[in-house]
Chain A
Amino acid sequence: MALLVMMVGLGGCSDAPLPELPDLKLASFDTDVATDIQSAEAAVLKQPENPERNGNLARLLHTYGQDEWAAACYMRARALSEDDFELAYLHAIVLARLGDRESAVNAFEQANELRDDYAPALLRLAALKIELGDNEAARALYERILDIEPGTSQALLGLAGLTETVPEATSLLEQAADLRRPFGKAHYALATAYRKQGRTGEADEQLRYFERYKKREPALADPVLEKMSFLNKSKRGQMNRALALLGRGNNEAAAIFFESVLRKDPGHVPAYSFLIVAYGNLGDYARAAQRYETAVERGDVSAQLHVNMGVLELTRERYRDAAALFRTALEVDERYALAHVYLGAALEAIGDSDTALAHYATAVALDPDNRQAGHSLANLKRKRRDYAGALEQFERIVEWDDAQTPVYLRDMATVYERLDQPSRALAALDRASRLAVHFELPELATALERKRNILRTKVATP
């Protein structure tokens, strides 16, 4: 580690000899990965003082998790291109991962000198400053982030941790724990702050939100780092990339990466599964079906694979085919709640409401947190005029405030209407309306407002 510190010092000195390339031992690497790195290394060896080539090798090593080699190569690249913000930033990230905090701080500070409005760099630097005990510097960095991007939850959380008084910290955390942008860590910190003030009920509520959102964090765009994922040609890297693209709705690109995974590993069941989703979203049923059939022929199946194909059939209104696929999924995993939910939906569409109800109930029993299952069960009970049963389910699923809750409340209100309880219906719609505004769902908010107006009249009329 001392060597790295010394090398950081060399980075800014143009007369210093260029740090040596690390001895890359790639024999055990995935072939594509090794080839990729070897090409980049060969390019550097051809032009050892080319900053772009050195930077490319560093980035590749970085994306493949070879942090020590990456750090050495970033050092070379930075020595050749002192004004490159991205190199300094990425170098700092690698140094921090290696636990060399002093050098990482140095590199982050140099990056910030080159570009002082890149919030992810400021955020990472602030965290390191805290680890090194320089809370004042961290505070200034968080404040700077909030100047650049007001309301950045991560900065509010960091600032709260540096605040002297619990009420002041609580106020910051209440801003950070905004349900529109679920942030598990903020809910946890807010729960701790409430507990310290004896506000047990509020603490418990925040812990419930933490349990629900513990892995969620508001997106903070980091295009410099995101570009790195394009470089990763390993199976795992391609899969992650594909899933990220699918999550963003870029189905075409996602399909390309899933196909790439299958070229590396023709037995990769999740890749088949998600390809069905991607091709389905693209309206390319034939390719989706072909991928499904290939997986089945190979015997590389999972419950999810059958469910994804079933959902595609469901969207094509081929309910009996869909039901058959969901049943096949349940043969693979009878405890797969989502398969029960979708099978219920297919059966409901066919008109077999009794069996549908049983599958919805099974899904709820298997996964009580699955609100989709609860919603389906509640709605079917409502349709079957089992209003008490429907309300029981609705009450359970409207416990949480999120973007789905106003829809559940709207449907719940119709049950109260059927029960001739307009005041309760109105109360549900009032809450639904507030949440629709909060979660920025304007069309739903408008529809709810219309419904509320009608109900208000009913309530006002004896």
Chain B
Amino acid sequence: MSGRWRTSQTVTLSAFLMTGVTACSPTDEKSDNAVAETVVLFEDVAESTGLVFTHDANTTPEYFFPEINGAGGALLDYDNDGDLDVYLIQGGALDGSGTKTNRLFRNALVPSGELRFDDVTQGSGTGDNGYGMGVATGDYDNDGDVDIYLANFGANVLLRNDGDRFTDVTAASGTGDVRCSAGASFADYDHDGDLDLYVANYIDWSKDDNTACENTAGERDYCAPSNYESVSDALFRNDGDGVFTDVSEDSGIASVAGNGLGVVSADFNGDGLSDFYVANDQQANHLWLNAGEGHFEEAGLVSGSAYNAAGVAEASMGVTAGDYDGDGDDDLFMTHLNAESNTLYANDGQAFFDEVTDSANLAASSMRFTGFGSAWFDYDNDGFLDLFVANGAVMVLAERRGQSAFPYEQQNQLYRNLGNGRFADMSGTAGDALALREVSRGAAIGDVDNDGAIDVLVTNNSGPVRLLRNVIGGEQEWLRLRLVGKQSSRDAQGAKVALRFDDGTVRWGRAHSDGSYASASDVRVHFGLGLSATVSAVMVVWPRGGAEMWTDVAASTTTTLEQGSGEMAEPAQFNVRH
């Protein structure tokens, strides 16, 4: 086991960081500015693998508001063959009358061994032609295959995976929210063993009410969301029989309106219940703490996560939750408009957040960009959660006139977690795939070629999809867990996973497909282990049914952990709260 691992992967990491004492071993001597030479970290393999798709926002001289917001994509193993497939959201005609549809691409890696994508939309039931924004994935009917929820401008759509094809069950399920949505999240908030659905709604906009907005030079441009009425989000309770009940009012979720875009679910205050965090565009963000008994309380302001540290509501787009500082709770990273920095909120474990963007070295480098998709992921498998940010502006005019300080097409960003509370911006030296300048929106993560390194799916507004294949992460050890719930929902979204190492240190992850912007990632839980770490035990805290422990999980492989097959465990055995 490396010295770096032993010294930095402890649950008391935050205490070290706070006192400025960082672990010291040769590999720990990392600097934000140390990397200068280009080392190719990712390469775009979309076209070469058959993943050919171009998003059509159907831009008009009318500057219709939804044109700038879409669209996302998903990485999911819809056919349960052991490799990740791709689902892409299309724009097209605003009234859903167009011929362009969402596309499903099947990964032929298993069994062919070749990373190749085949468009299998035709006949699959997935070719929705609504004006798409976002997508969420989850096995809502507990039948062992992943279902798809589409967040559209216009009615949302629930596609049930029947194994050989998908069936539109929107009407029967009652989930067809007709408001403009971008983000959605599956989570079992009531712990009844099936996935419920949270839908983040954006604004009250219709083609007929389109406002003619002008910039300071009197030119027509896209409006800010403040020109339109905010709307409340929706919470659908899964009744277990294929029907969802709209509990937005009863749960309290409908009591507050917002310009919701990104949404993520996690247990932010460690009480064992799934909460929701919603990134609102140019408004206070919402933290919906689960009070139990089907009720939620909005605690954004009190928690310190509604505004940035200066008390300003920012143009929040995407949000991702992950334990970047290794203290056992989920922290929040949020993307914003240019001239605002992205924001990192460190959780104290009780859902009180401190904005630490500056000290993490994530502020200055983000000021020129408009961020949308974002994801915590350990791209180099060194045991620390790194960050990917998908960028692309929403105003095009200045660049068309030759002014390029804030370009419309922007490069995406990759930040490496240095393990000391700071991040290094690797974007400029990570190779051509990170140098592309496009209008990116969604980002989803997952290991599409099963080499142990996490890849990134990037979707672009009015542009081609990109698949950034990770070419270096496979050099280190890793561990991937596919959780199968019994009392809990089948895909166990919301389960917390703890790894205990030989030296007693513990790291946490969670099963989820939500977060980012308008996108869905692989639900499996992936850990980078560094070069020579030894995992002594894995514990899963199931959303329903307690905790279990396994002691024979091998590194650098994907292991399926079925609920009920491990030893009963107590989170206290892992020396941290859950």
Contacts and interface: CB of A to CB of B under 8 A. Distances in A.
Contact of B402 (A25, A32, A63, A187): A25
B310 A23 contact: no
Nearest to A208: B301
B214 A66 contact: no
**Interface on chain B toward A: helix, strand, loop, or mixed SS?**
loop
A221 B307 CA distance: 27
B501 to A, nearest CB: 33
Contacts of B18: none
Interface in A130-167: 131
Interface in B391-406: 397-398, 400-406
Nearest to A96: B339
B367 interface: yes
B217 A211 contact: no
Nearest to A204: B302
Contacts, number: 84
Contact of A99 (B367, B397, B401): B367
Given A66-B403, A185-B310, A189-B311, A29 B219 contact: yes
Select the residue from B214, B301, B304, B403 with max chain A CB neighbours within 10 A.
B403
A214 B311 contact: yes
A65 B397 CA distance: 12
Interface stretch (A234-242, A303-311, A383-391): A234-242
A236 B211 CA distance: 14
A207 interface: yes
A195 B352 contact: yes
B216 A236 contact: yes
B339 A235 contact: no
Contact of B403 (A30, A68, A100, A101): A68
Contacts of A185: 310-312
A266 B7 CA distance: 70
Interface residues of A, number: 39
Interface in A70-105: 97-101
Contacts of A101: 364
Contacts of B401: 25, 28, 66
Contact of B364 (A1, A25, A131, A184): A131
B368 interface: yes
B218 interface: yes
Contacts of B352: 195
Select the residue from A28, A185, A207 with max chain B CB neighbours within 10 A.
A28
Interface in A154-207: 184-185, 187-189, 192, 195, 204, 207
A23 B214 CA distance: 22
B31 interface: no
B217 A235 contact: no
A128 to B, nearest CB: 11
Given A68-B403, A69-B403, A211-B301, A99 B216 contact: no
Contacts of A257: none
A313 interface: no
Interface string B306-338: 010111110000000000000000000000000
Contacts of B397: 28
Interface string B223-265: 0000000000000000000000000000000000000000000
A207 B352 CA distance: 14
Contacts of B405: 1, 67-68, 98-100
A64 interface: yes
A23 B402 contact: yes
Contacts of A236: 214-216, 218
A33 interface: yes
A210 interface: yes
A232 interface: yes
A69 B398 CA distance: 10
Contacts of B217: 29-30, 33, 64-66, 234
Contacts of B307: 188, 214
B218 A33 contact: yes
Contacts of A99: 339, 367-368, 405-406
B163 to A, nearest CB: 49
B218 A235 contact: yes
Contacts of A187: 311
Interface string B284-304: 000000000000000001101
A33 B218 CA distance: 7
Nearest to A188: B311
B218 A32 contact: yes
Contacts of B215: 65, 236
Contacts of A69: 403
B218 A234 contact: yes
A204 B302 CA distance: 8
B287 to A, nearest CB: 14
Contacts of A97: 339
A282 to B, nearest CB: 28
Interface in A17-72: 22-23, 25, 28-30, 32-33, 63-69
A67 B403 contact: yes
Contacts of B398: 66, 68
Given A30-B218, A65-B217, A188 B339 contact: no
Contacts of A65: 215-217
A32 B312 CA distance: 34
B216 A63 contact: yes
A411 B397 CA distance: 55
Nearest to B212: A265
Nearest to A27: B401
Nearest to B367: A99
Contacts of B302: 204, 207
B300 to A, nearest CB: 11
27 contacts: A1-B405, A22-B402, A25-B401, A25-B402, A29-B219, A30-B217, A33-B217, A33-B218, A64-B216, A65-B216, A66-B217, A66-B398, A66-B401, A66-B403, A67-B405, A68-B403, A99-B367, A99-B406, A101-B364, A131-B364, A184-B311, A192-B304, A192-B309, A195-B304, A234-B214, A234-B218, A236-B216
Interface of A: 1, 22-23, 25, 28-30, 32-33, 63-69, 97-101, 131, 184-185, 187-189, 192, 195, 204, 207, 210-211, 214, 232, 234-237
Given A30-B218, A68-B398, A131-B364, 12 more contacts: A30-B217, A33-B217, A64-B216, A65-B215, A68-B403, A99-B405, A101-B364, A131-B358, A184-B311, A188-B311, A211-B301, A235-B214
Interface of B: 214-220, 301-302, 304, 307, 309-313, 339, 352, 358, 363-364, 367-368, 397-398, 400-406
3 nearest A-B residue pairs (beta carbon): A30-B218, A188-B311, A65-B216
